[in-house]
Structure formats: C-alpha cells, structure tokens
Amino acid sequence: MNSSTVLILTYHFYPSNEIGARRVTALAQYLASHGARVVVVSAFDGKQAPSCHEVLPGIIAVPVEAPGSPLLDAVVRLKRRVWRRRNVVPDDRAAASSQSAAPGPLLRWAGKMRDLYFRVLYFPDGFKKWTWRAYKAAVHAGRVYEAKVIIASAPPHGALLAGAHAARKLAIPFVADFRDPWSDYLAGAHAERRIELRLLRALERWVVQRVAAVTTTTEVVATLLQARYRSLRARVHVVRNGYDGNPAPSLASTGHRLAILFAGELYVGRDPFPLLSALEWLLARTDVDAARIEVTFMGRVQAYSGQPLDAWLQGKRCAAVVRILPQQSAQAVAEAVSRSTVLLNLAQQQPLAVPAKTYEQLASGREILLICEDDCETARVVSGMRGVTQVDPSKVRALTDVLLDLYTRHVVEGNLKAPAAEQVARYSRTAANKLFHEVLTLVAPLRLPECARGTQGPTAAGDID
C-alpha cells in the first residue's frame, strides 16, 4: 500500500457548490498532484459518487449519503407554504398588520419553545446521523487504504467529532480544520443559550485535546483557541483561505464608468444600507453624472434584516442606478465581474471570520470597496493593500468621501487601482496548500516530493501574516 495515504473527512466536497468545499477540494487536489493517495469521506453534494472510485484524479471517493428527515422536511415545507401565503397580502394590509398585531405573551412563549426545540434537535448540528455514518466509513476506509493521517474539516462541526473518533480507532494523527469557529460563535450569547455554549465548549475541548494539529482560517480564532487550551498552543496554526488560479489583469480603463458589484447573500451583518445612503448623498451633488454610475446587487439580496431593498429605494435618487438581481449562474457572475470596476465586500459584524470572497476579490483585477469595522480581521488582512479601500460603516463622512473619490477616479479620470499581483500572491490557494502540507509533515510520516513543500512554515497565531 502507498505509505502516504491521507484520509479527509468533510461534508462539503466537489461537486458541491458550497464555498466551504473549495478549500478542502483544493487541498485534496494539491496532495494528490504531489504523490499522496487521497481518500475522501463526504456527502459529495448528494451525488451518487461510486464508492472507491476516483471523484477527481488521484482522489478516491467514499460517499456517505446524508439521511433524510421526512417529518422535519414536511414541517419545513408547510412553514414555507404559510409564509408564501402571508407574503401575498397587499402592502397596505401587511403594514397595518405589522403595526397593530404585536405578538402576545402566548405567542412569544410559543416562539421561545420552538427555538428551544430546534436548538435541541440540531445540537451540536443538524448532521448527527451523517456524522455517525461518516465515522464508520472513515474507520473502514482508513484500514483498507492504510491511512497515515486524518484531516476533518468543519462545518458541520460533527465532522470533527467523527474525525477524532476515527483517528483514535485507527491510532493515527488527527488534524482538525476549523473553517469557521465552533463554540466561539456563541460567545456573549443570551442567558438561554449559555447551557448550549457550555456543551459546545465540552465537545470542542474533547476534540482539541485529541488533535495532532488544529488549523484555522483566521488569527483571531487561533488566538482564542490558544488562550483556551494553553497546553496545546504549539499545535494551532493559521492556514487562510485563498483564491484559485492566477490574478486577473487589471482594467486598462474604466470607460469613465463607476460600476459597483455585490454578488452573494445579504445575511446577518452584511448591511447594504450605509452604502446606499452614501450613494444617495453622492447623487445629490450637481457635479455627479448619474448616467455613469451603476450599482448591482446579485444573489440572495432582495432584503436585509426584513427590509426589502426595492421598498427602501422607492422615491430615492439611487433607485435609477441600483439593480437588484436574483441568483445567477457562475458564468453570469463572472461576466458581471468583468463589467464592473469596483467589487463590494460587506463584512460587518464578523469579528471571527474573513469572508471567503475577500481573497477571490483580491485576485479579480478590480478595485475593492470593503465595508467592515476598523478592528476586525478582514480589515487587518487588506491593510496597506493598493486598490482596497476599507471603511467602517459607522463613519458616515468617510464612506461618502470614499464614494466621491471613486467617482472622481473612475468616471472623471477613467482609471482604477487594482491590487498588485505581488501583494496578493500570499493569499493564493497554492500558498495556503503549501502551509497545509507543512502542518501535515509535522504530524505524519508523509513521503511527498520535496517540491511540494513551501519555503515558509506554518503561520502560528500571533505571527505577522
């Protein structure tokens, strides 16, 4: 058997379109291309991947199907049907209803009980059955292929539990990859979730105490883990996400346009309204030509925090320059990026994470407008980079000044400043995979060609990145 077999346990993997699948898939391809046998235990996006066959060159698939929940699925379908019916109520009736029908004590109590039920049902996540099946599949595959190390990547964080159990059963090193924080996302939770936090801390502690190494995508999470598990500080490493391929060339000219694009989802924290308010201010200036400005929101962007964007735009100047589009194909998104001059990154209220799109945008050949708090990690990642303008959403004057500066350079002068290739090279997927390999060679006897190794060792939390 090949002495360099790496077993990867992850729910998301190619051909999944989930953003989390990219990191693990790229790592598997990197290891396989440098001589390792890679065996992946995954759901493979529900596709019927043949067991023990290659899902990608050099990567053997061990599919574990996600079990269904007929009763829960029926409840979800019923809830969606009810909400669709509610949403056809005319706007005036809906407004009157929302103003006059505040929930009473019984409804509030019922809501709390419903939330409690689903928190218990989904503890520690909604993939418990898959986690158990994945553990058994990993143990079997590890024995068949004589795996030398297990990498478990999360979320869902049940994969870490499965990986830790399987590694103990196989008596091989275990690497836990925290793509997102686990217990720390509940830090500062309300009283009703403190018990849940303690339970998650206990599970996290059980996993971390069994690792040969932990990898995280951000320094802030690595620092939190190191502070919590002081005896394991040396085992915690930062391996950031990265962009795929090579940096795109910068636009030679903007065509005297300011075309801002946001492609993604407006979930909690990604608040578009500070930008839209600043845009309204910009369009009120007499020296600004609105015909040369275009702002596009593409994806799950119809509303933020219950406020529909189109309703907010009604009667405002910026309604004429803002487009709101539903989710598009990957090709349509790529074409929209090619037409844009500025890519918008909304990263507010995300102190523990750096949006994966941050790295893709750095390599896009376009200028970037990043809206996030000054003290968050995303701001630190791009600090000092040419072509990236970061603004704290609480600084209204700074945001309006930035928009005016973008208009002046893109529309009046016709040029833009994209990040330089040499600045963003350290955030390539290849650089991240080299760091990953350095971590693996610290904990497992992998025999890969010397060329697979990076010239830089793993980045520990606290190092300058």
Write out the DSSP string of 144-191: HHT-SEEEEEESSTHHHHHHHHHHHHHT--EEEEESS-SGGGGTT--G
Specify the pLDDT at position 106.
Answer: 64
Of the options 1.20.140.10, 3.40.50.2000, 3.40.605.10, 3.30.830.10, the CATH number for the domain spanning 258-423: 3.40.50.2000
Write out the DSSP string of 390-418: EE-TT-HHHHHHHHHHHHIIIIII----P
**C-alpha closest to that of 431 among 151, 214, 247, 242:** 242
Range with the lowest mean pLDDT among 41-55, 106-120, 209-223?
106-120
Please tell me the CATH superfamily of domain 5-66+127-242+430-460, with its number: Glycogen Phosphorylase B; (3.40.50.2000)
Specify the pLDDT at position 269.
Answer: 85
pLDDT at 44 over 60: yes
Residue spans in the chain of domains classed CATH 3.40.50.2000: 5-66+127-242+430-460, 258-423
341-376 pLDDT tens trace: 999 999 999 989 999 899 999 999 999 999 999 999
Report the pLDDT averaged over residues 154-167. Answer: 95
pLDDT at 88 over 60: no
**C-alpha closest to that of 172 among 438, 435, 443:** 443
Report the pLDDT averaged over residues 169-183. Answer: 95
133-143 pLDDT tens trace: 999 999 999 99
The pTM for the full model equals: 0.81
